[in-house]
Structure 1
């Protein structure tokens, strides 16, 4: 009986063990199959596309960015660890993994966003692409005595001002995605005309809205108008910006920027074939048939297009100087903020480090002229590089040396401010002047920037600094935030806010200000932080949107009303008061 019992019991666990062993062998085979870096070009190309869409905002293969340099990472960490970390870094950090925790601490305790949408096949494609970028031992350049590398540029913290902004819910933009961010609302504009003020708002996914009674009506749809239009991978790609001509109701002229697939048409500003093209940015003039219509029927005329080596840092804003009066020198001239397209971070400094290149600049053109190289717009003769007697420089360039000029705004006294999204360390506010060089890619904030192997990083300025560089009038480091969200000098009806330039941080959702009167070239002004109250609830944008990245922006409404919103949920808040704490 005992033998029988034993005979009856043994086959069950032995059978179970056999099944488990079989499952384990299948699992091992699956791990080997998916856990091996592929050399198949189609898979690697798919991985590159996914990387461009989801990773380039923070990572490259040459130096540390918002996240670590990924060159050689597949030789340093296991496939399993990397795939888990990409899928959900926050979960890996919570397990106490030493490498994950160290990265979390190194990058100011801002975790990498989760990518739960990635399938096993997606992860294999991404990692196979990353695996093609091996660690290269850089030949160290003799840069002389740089002094010690700076690891904490501004140890002092931004102080609270003891002021609370009261925010009242204004409206919620239509969702243009089912995934975060639900919207990519970007810019507001109040168009003044014979029939009264009209409030417009742009969604980078291709929609221009008019807001009436808090309702959104689509005025133009770029995806319908331009077959090659793309709004992926984000990073400001899509319908970038729009600007109504000062005489819009007379001439019907509207100007836009948008992105298209690489190779959609020959670029006016191209570069060597050895450098990749990720996409193209295009500036278009539209002749609107009926400027007073609720939807615009318009005929396009392309002004120029620019090749970019990565999706990052494109054309952030176009605008006219609305303070300029008819007959004055600046009237009807179009300003265009154009970033470096990720040139410097990807090792192509030659695409952005001098005025023979259009990238990393603020441009000023005359859209009514026709003396540009392509004959489609005018060169402003007063621009510094239009009259420097050098045929190689670009007369379109008004000022240069910007990595990613986020917003340009005119203060009431006519001074022009440009917010500049930084690299690893500093976020900037600059006073814009013609012909000046604001330093990129050799300066970041008020520090010397070096792209050179192990020496890459920032250093104190040399004792005998190059006088050609102009420095920001206010800056903050990445202990405080990650990407500046440019704002406005307040001119509304709240007395306590008058004379303050109000701005914030895109990622952390913090709202800051500087006293505008303190902004002077050659001086660093003090930044202070507001507390926030949403309705009756004191909170933060991060907590309100329940996301690690607030994705915050600023806009203006009628009579100088200030709006603040997060793309994450599309909810627009109006600043209705400011009180002392």
Structure 2
């Protein structure tokens, strides 16, 4: 609980921020005229809606603060020209000491990417859509009073270790507009050590001698495939069966139009569906060939509230062998679908009886599921529980975007946070990881305002939450990009990961108490560097991968380049 003076300062700071955000710079329009020139044409609004969902909804909504501020009522309280200029180049406005831009950067800790490639019509359409949303509801004083202003006061320091980056390849562009390539994951195939990389727009590439060659294109096999509205939609993830060289089996997670087919896991009545995610099995006739030739079948299909937080990860345990119960079991990271921020917290707030916000574990070659297309392993934690989903391995996760194992076979998953912290969890069967009543080691209210960090209650043990091994708040980043455990000195045994938008690379030693996090120094061609310098961008979109020899790769969606750590 804050002392009285601390509470006063917090409330005062909050309202000063709102004043700067909403009322400063009123020289071009009076308050009653804000947005007067914005078009209300329905077709223009619809174009703006699609642009918002593709480009803006990662960080913004119209209900509450997220990675970026709530945009409800913005066009009615801020001059239109300022919004236009900020959309195009927010970094420039901060550099020019624009008061409102500086206040936003100070509050939200990151730079919004600029959209200087937008045409005037696209910006105007976006404003038209934003103009349909009313002013946000301010949190009441008691909520502010009980919240924690700075969840983790200490900022992260640099390690004394340095990673040397070597350029590997340029990913072929899949669009004429940025991002030119939506690279998301890198994985190897096992004994053949072939390396594959996916573009969310639906292409699976093989990396051959530092050149990417198309191996499989989803749209050639699915007429309902979609990679919009962005937000991670498209070819979200892929995984090669550990016996691929013998059985030719590959698995993918991709998004399709809503109502494409009947879902195996449907949303509760009255909750809208935006799209579906599909887990498929691909069987190639020739595992050694450079292009996929074979058949595909569907394993399962899930409805989602929005384009956010779908199925960003599927994976097999690379440390298991044919004698293990875990061999050939497919793990599926299912996000909450944006259900909580969209106003349907009941979709994620469950006790293992729904699939959203979970990690599933299935036997893709089995048949004892309800639809008969996959198996439910007998050692899953909720097998024979009549009030649970037997496919669930763990639950209470917002967006488990990367799953990995250390050399001892322990499983970890990175989970992208909302407004408070980013975290990595040690995943154990049947455990509850807190979302949406917890974010990291902080309590939140999933019904009124998920943006405020609250102290844990005295009876916290009664909630049965398993807390993360490491976490960092938004002083040091905005969205975690899950990483891998290094097998090479001087990083051996340490977890190397990063932050998606900021492009910062982190290193952590999980063997230490509470798992410390440090920033990792980077060099390229003998010069100290960082990804902002390498990409010449303010938003990096950093992703990680690991090959069968243990080498760690880093991919920057901002420019479609791939690097690896070398001695």
Scaled by the length of structure 2, the TM-score of the pair is 0.88
* Deviation at residue 172 of structure 1 after TM alignment: 2.3
* Deviation at residue 165 of structure 1 after TM alignment: 1.1
* Deviation at residue 217 of structure 1 after TM alignment: 1.5
Cross-structure match for 2:453: 458
Give SS of 1:285's match: strand
Mark the structure with the bigger radius of gyration: 1
> Mapping of 1:216-235 within 5 angstroms?
216-235=212-231
> Mapping of 1:522-533 within 5 angstroms?
524-533=514-523
Give SS of 1:99's match: helix
Cross-structure match for 2:68: 67
1:448 equivalent among 422, 439, 443: 443
- C-alpha distance in 2 between matches for 1:508 and 1:380: 39
Cross-structure match for 1:289: 285
Cross-structure match for 2:410: 415
Note if 1:244 corresponds to 2:240.
Answer: yes
Cross-structure match for 1:372: 369
Note if 1:50 corresponds to 2:45.
Answer: no
* Deviation at residue 435 of structure 1 after TM alignment: 0.6
> Mapping of 1:115-154 within 5 angstroms?
115-135=115-135, 137=137, 148-154=146-152
Cross-structure match for 1:14: none
- C-alpha distance in 2 between matches for 1:94 and 1:373: 57
Give SS of 2:70's match: coil
2:419 equivalent among 421, 424, 446: 424
* Deviation at residue 503 of structure 1 after TM alignment: 1.0
| Cα deviation code 1:101-142 (max 9, x no counterpart) | 32122111x232222233343333322322322236589799
1:340 equivalent among 328, 336, 342: 336
1:208 equivalent among 201, 204, 210: 204
* Deviation at residue 381 of structure 1 after TM alignment: 3.3
Cross-structure match for 1:15: none
| Cα deviation code 1:221-259 (max 9, x no counterpart) | 112222222223332211111111122233222110111
* Deviation at residue 490 of structure 1 after TM alignment: 1.0
Aligned pairs, how many?
534
1:187 equivalent among 180, 185, 188: 185
Is the 1:236–1:314 contact (alpha carbons within 8 Å) kept by the matching residues of 2?
Answer: yes
> Mapping of 1:437-516 within 5 angstroms?
437-453=432-448, 456-465=451-460, 466-492=462-488, 495-516=489-510
1:298 equivalent among 294, 300, 305: 294
Cross-structure match for 1:436: 431
| Cα deviation code 1:7-63 (max 9, x no counterpart) | xxxxxxxxxxxxxxxxxxxxx9xxx9x954444433322221111111100101121
* Deviation at residue 97 of structure 1 after TM alignment: 4.2
Scaled by the length of structure 1, the TM-score of the pair is 0.86
- C-alpha distance in 1 between matches for 2:510 and 2:95: 43
Runs of at least 5 residues in structure 2 that lack an aligned partner in the other structure: 1-28
Is the 1:169–1:535 contact (alpha carbons within 8 Å) kept by the matching residues of 2?
Answer: no
Note if 1:381 corresponds to 2:378.
Answer: yes
- Return closer, same or farther for 1:323/1:455 CA change in 2, 3 Å cut-off: closer
Is the 1:35–1:124 contact (alpha carbons within 8 Å) kept by the matching residues of 2?
Answer: no
- C-alpha distance in 2 between matches for 1:50 and 1:487: 30
Give SS of 1:166's match: strand
- C-alpha distance in 1 between matches for 2:354 and 2:75: 35
- C-alpha distance in 2 between matches for 1:455 and 1:555: 31
Is the 1:500–1:516 contact (alpha carbons within 8 Å) kept by the matching residues of 2?
Answer: yes
Runs of at least 5 residues in structure 1 that lack an aligned partner in the other structure: 1-27
Cross-structure match for 2:23: none
- C-alpha distance in 2 between matches for 1:111 and 1:556: 29
Cross-structure match for 2:78: 77
Is the 1:141–1:452 contact (alpha carbons within 8 Å) kept by the matching residues of 2?
Answer: no
* Deviation at residue 484 of structure 1 after TM alignment: 1.1
Is the 2:112–2:539 contact (alpha carbons within 8 Å) kept by the matching residues of 1?
Answer: no
1:574 equivalent among 539, 564, 567: 564
Cross-structure match for 1:13: none
* Deviation at residue 265 of structure 1 after TM alignment: 2.3
| Cα deviation code 1:74-109 (max 9, x no counterpart) | 33223333333333333444554433332122111x
Give SS of 1:458's match: strand
- C-alpha distance in 1 between matches for 2:244 and 2:187: 13
Q: CA RMSD in A?
A: 2.5
Which shifted more, 536-545 or 504-513? 504-513
Is the 1:61–1:346 contact (alpha carbons within 8 Å) kept by the matching residues of 2?
Answer: no
Give SS of 2:511's match: helix
* Deviation at residue 558 of structure 1 after TM alignment: 3.9
| Cα deviation code 1:252-275 (max 9, x no counterpart) | 221101112223222222225643
- C-alpha distance in 1 between matches for 2:495 and 2:538: 26
